[in-house]
Amino acid sequence: MRKDYNLEKRKYVIGGFIVVLVCIYIVRLFMLQIVDDSYKDKSEGNAYVHKMIYPSRGLIFDRKGKLIVYNQPSYDITVILKDVKPFDTIDFCNTLQITRQEFDERLEKVKETKRFYSEQVFLAHINLVDYGRIQEKLYRFPGFSIVQRIMRDYTQPVAASILGDIREVNAEEAEKDDYYNPGDYIGDMGLEKEYEKYLRGVKGEEILIRDHVGRIKGHYEDGKHDIKPQAGHNLRLGIDLDLQAYGEQLMRGKRGAIVAIEPATGEILALVTSPTYDPKLLVGKDRGKNYVQLLRDNDKPTFNRAIQAAYPPGSTFKPSQGLILQQEGIITPSTMYPCSHGFVIKGMRVGCHGHSAPLNLRPALTTSCNAFFCWGLRNMLNNKKYGTVADAFEVWKNHLVSLGYGKKLGIDLPFESRGFLPNSKYYNEHIKGGWNANTIISVSIGQGEVLATPLQIANLCAAIANRGYFYTPHIVKNIEGVGVLKVFKTKRVPTIDQKYYAEVIAGMRGAVTGGTCRKANLEGIEVCGKTGTAQNPHGRDHSAFMGFAPMNNPKIAIAVYVENGGFGADYGVPIGSLMMEKYLKGEVKRKDMESHMMNSRIN
């Protein structure tokens, strides 16, 4: 084969390419390794010790200024991996009373963080005895030190699901947010999670100098570069701690929830879920064990029924119907509908109980007549002015959304449920063979597909008490140094004209004075209320109540929901009434009713 010398020259291009590239790399190496000193500092960091100073986490007070959550010191063993030198691991393990295996696992976990020059938590929450023992010997374990941290503590064993808890950040969170290092605490549930950014404060840092054997020689440049930590913001809650505790006592032995709202502000006075737990269970060394136990509990104590459970509202739904039917011109206060022990049409029947008939809106609310509201919704859905039934249904649904149903209200707690409101699309998909006013008539009395959280029921009650507006219900009244969050200062106005509320309120007042919730009557205070008995396909009916007082210038709006409690008057009304009495009068006179409620159990 003849050689092509023209092409052979190309070897210089190829060889030249790699030579030039390697020269570029050598220049780069020269810059990195010899010209630029900063990398050396970064890698060594020997002379300076950056010591994190943790800020104090914000405290939590109730509406009257009573302390609820505060901080307790706790001790963590930390480690700077770079400084670890071979040491007597058996002595170390014995002093801290951990096994060799646990020691290895923890060290491995710290190594996985890949942070070798900064302090990492090795063992959190050691007790005072271990603290005393290890402190004496600490010099034998180079690289390890003790850091004082905070633990949450509670003045009373109440409101666990509102307050939430703190836990160590997981690897992902530490990665995502620069604020956290592995081993730091973060709010896990409730307010601790929701207000984490306000509560956590700003970390400080001390820069210390140390010599070659590791002795601290003082602050770098006399502490000129140290950063002071800033404590987290304190929270002032709308919660009345006494009322909250009282509510939790009333709900003992029952599953369900109570939500009490101050209508004028939207501040939540009490948010009770039952069963609940002692918030101290989720603090300290045993947190993990207790947490698992709570999760495994069949009654789900960590499930905040007040905002996470969606229940059929039952008859507490009827006032909203009274408002919508009036607004849409389907009824006037004097419109009469028949009731022959129920609503009967085309072989369908929704039962009712004995009362005089025909009747108009006010007595219909007072006696909780099912037929009246069935007729009302039927006439609305079949009204030609909307076009189709589906169009009418959308109008109906939109009014309810404006009243706070079917969507999250936006409470300042995590994991709020939105309840459920069907729309026409939902029916198209779920009712085979088409639907009309008759097939879905039970939604008019809060059965069927409609679901609401106790919070939504209480909020509807607040909107009625206010005669036509509400504020997003919220737990935190004020963040110290920040104020009230803007979302909680914004009035929300439902699509119902103010003038239509009077008749509904009169009906609710009637229910207390001479209707279904006479037990709610309080001496000297005009209470308005509405019972609810929600049919439950899985067992005994749920007992519900919503009410507010006083009728004029209302101070409290409340919703009570007791699972399997039977008639609304059995549990809902007395509990709601006792709560109002406690809040408005400061003390409860009806001791029989009180002890009956506190001591009864529903399985």
Partner 1 sequence: MSSNENSIFKSLDWFTLLLYLVMTIYGAISIYAAKYNFEETSLFSFDTYSGKQFCWIILSLCLGFSLLLIDRRFYEAYAYPIYGGMMILLFLTIFIAPNVKGSHSWIVLGPVSLQPAEFAKFATALALAKLFSTYGFSLNSTKNIAIAVGMILLPIMLIILQNETGSALVYTIFIFVLYREGLTGLVLFAGLSAIVIFVVALKYSTIPFMGITVGEFCVFIILMVIIVGMLFIYCSSHFAARNVALGYLGSGALAVGAHFLGFDIHGYLFFFPVIIISLIYLAWEFIRINNSRILTTIGFAIAGLCLLFTVNFAFNKVLKPHQQMRIKVALAIEDDVKGQGYNVNQSKIAIGSGGLWGKGFLNGTQTKFGYVPEQHTDFIYCTIGEEQGFAGSVAVLALFVTLILRIITIAERQHTAFARVYAYCVASILIFHLSINVGMVLGLCPVIGIPLPFFSYGGSSLWGFTTLLFILLRIDASRSQYGVW
Does residue 21 belong to the site contacting partner 1 (CB under 8 A)? yes
- Decide if residue 99 touches partner 1 (CB under 8 A): no
| Minimum gap (Å) between residue 40 Cβ and partner 1 | 5
Q: Is 175 or 221 the residue whose CB approaches partner 1 more closely?
A: 175
| Least gap, CB of 140 to partner 1 (angstroms) | 17
Closer residue to partner 1, CB minimum distance, 147 or 174: 174
Span near partner 1 by CB under 8 A; candidates 11-19, 245-253, 330-338, 359-367 = 11-19
Say how far apart CA 274 and CA 247 lie, in whole Å: 9
Q: Of the candidates 81, 159, 162, 309, which one interacts with partner 1 according to CB under 8 A?
A: 81
Per rule CB under 8 A, is residue 20 in the interface with partner 1? Answer: no
Q: Which of residues 280-339 bind partner 1 (CB under 8 A)?
A: none
Report the residue number, 32 or 487, with the smaller CB distance to partner 1: 32
Determine the interface stretch with partner 1 among 10-18, 284-292, 509-517, 585-593 (rule: CB under 8 A): 10-18
Which residue's CB is nearer to partner 1, number 35 or number 213? 35
**Is 591 near partner 1 (CB under 8 A)?**
no
∠ CA(22), CA(23), CA(28), 5° rounding?
95
Taking CB under 8 A as the criterion, the residue among 33, 230, 340, 388 binding partner 1 is: 33
What pairing do the DSSP bridges indicate for beta strands 542-549 and 166-168? unpaired
Distance (Å, whole) CA 58 – CA 71: 9
Work out whether 589 is an interface residue with partner 1 (CB under 8 A).
no
Rounded Cα–Cα distance for residues 262 and 244 (Å): 14
Which residues ranging from 167 to 206 are in contact with partner 1 (CB under 8 A)?
Answer: 175, 178
Torsion of CA 15, 18, 21, 27, to 10 degrees: -90
44 near partner 1, judged by CB under 8 A: yes
Q: Is the peptide bond before 494 cis (omega within 30 degrees of 0)?
A: no
The beta-strand segments (E) located in 316-443 are 342-345, 348-351
Cα gap 162→475, rounded to integer Å: 8
Name the residue among 325, 267, 277, 334 with its Cα closest to residue 300: 277
224 binds partner 1 (CB under 8 A): no
**Which residue intervals of 382-525 are DSSP H helices?**
389-402, 424-430, 454-465, 501-514
Question: Should residue 87 be labelled a site residue for partner 1 when binding is judged by CB under 8 A?
Answer: no
CB of 416 to partner 1, least distance (A): 32
By CB under 8 A, tell whether 212 contacts partner 1.
no
- Pair 16, 83: CB distance under 8 Å: no
Closest CB to partner 1 among 71 and 181?
Answer: 181
Residue of 320, 313, 374, 377 lying closest to 342 (CA atoms): 374
> Is residue 18 a contact residue for partner 1 (CB under 8 A)?
yes
Rounded distance between C-alpha atoms, residue 505 and residue 508, angstroms:
5
β-pair type (204-210, 491-492): unpaired
Q: Nearer Cβ to partner 1, position 79 or 569?
A: 79
The tokens describing 333, both together, are 């206060």
Question: Over 338-351, what HEC string results?
Answer: CCCCEEEECCEEEE
- Chain positions contacting partner 1, by CB under 8 A: 1-2, 4, 7-8, 10-11, 13-15, 17-19, 21-22, 24-26, 28-30, 32-34, 36, 38-40, 42-44, 81-82, 84, 86, 111, 114, 116, 175, 178
